[in-house]
Chain A
Amino acid sequence: MAIVVKRKPLNLLEKLYIPEIARGLMVTFRRMFFGETVTMEYPEQRPPIPVGYRGVPTLVKDPEGREKCVSCQLCEFVCPPKAIRITPGEIPEGSDYRHVEKGPKEFDIDMLRCIYCGMCQEVCPEEAIWLQNQYSMSGYSRAEMVNNKAKLYELGGTLPDEHFKWKKKKEAAEHGGGHH
Chain B
Amino acid sequence: MEISEIAIKAIYAIIVVSVLMGFCSYAVLAERKISSWIQGRVGPNRTTLPFVGSIPVVGKFLTRLGVFQPVADGLKFLFKEDVTPGHVNKFYFTMAPIMALIPALTTVVVVPFGYYTNAAGEVVTLVLTDLNVAMLFLLAVSSLGVYGVVLGGWSSNSKYPFLGGIRASAQMISYELAMGISILPVFMWVNAPGSEGSLSLVDVVNSQGGGLWYAMWMPASFLIFVVCIFAETNRLPFDMAESETELVSGFHTEYSSFKFGLFFVGEYAHMLVGSAVVAILFLGGWHPLPFATWADFGVSGWLVGVLSVGTLIAKLCGFMFFFMWIRWTLPRFRYDQVMRIGWQMLLPASIANLIVYTFIIYFLERP
Contacts and interface: CB of A to CB of B under 8 A. Distances in A.
A binds B: yes
Interface of A: 18, 21, 24-25, 27-29, 31-33, 35-39, 41
A21 B329 contact: yes
A31 B38 CA distance: 6
Interface in B43-100: 45
20 contacts: A24-B329, A24-B330, A25-B329, A27-B329, A28-B38, A28-B325, A28-B328, A29-B325, A31-B40, A32-B34, A32-B38, A35-B37, A35-B40, A36-B40, A37-B40, A37-B41, A37-B42, A38-B40, A38-B41, A41-B45
A39 B223 contact: no
Contacts of B38: 28, 31-32, 35
A139 to B, nearest CB: 21
Contacts of A28: 38, 325, 328-329
Contacts of A41: 42, 45
Interface of B: 34, 37-42, 45, 223, 325-326, 328-330
Nearest to A31: B38
Closest 10 pairs (CB-CB, A-B): A38-B40, A32-B37, A28-B329, A24-B329, A39-B41, A32-B38, A28-B38, A25-B329, A31-B38, A35-B40
A39 B40 contact: yes
Given A18-B223, A32-B37, A39 B329 contact: no
Contacts, number: 37
Nearest to A18: B223
A167 B202 CA distance: 95
Given A32-B34, A35-B40, 13 more contacts: A28-B38, A28-B325, A28-B329, A29-B325, A31-B37, A31-B39, A32-B37, A32-B38, A36-B40, A37-B41, A37-B42, A39-B41, A39-B42
A24 B237 CA distance: 13
A41 B40 CA distance: 12
A25 to B, nearest CB: 5
A25 B34 CA distance: 13
Contacts of A38: 40-41
A158 B37 CA distance: 43
Nearest to A39: B41
A51 B311 CA distance: 58
Contacts of B326: 25
A25 B40 contact: no
Contacts of A27: 329
A84 to B, nearest CB: 37
Nearest to A23: B329
Nearest to A40: B42
Contacts of B34: 32
A33 to B, nearest CB: 8
B42 A25 contact: no
Nearest to B37: A32
Contacts of B223: 18
Nearest to B46: A41
Nearest to B327: A28
A24 B41 CA distance: 19
A31 to B, nearest CB: 5
A161 to B, nearest CB: 42
B327 to A, nearest CB: 10
B92 to A, nearest CB: 39
A38 B42 CA distance: 9
Nearest to A33: B37
B272 to A, nearest CB: 21
B222 to A, nearest CB: 12
A35 B34 CA distance: 13
A180 to B, nearest CB: 56
A41 B329 CA distance: 25
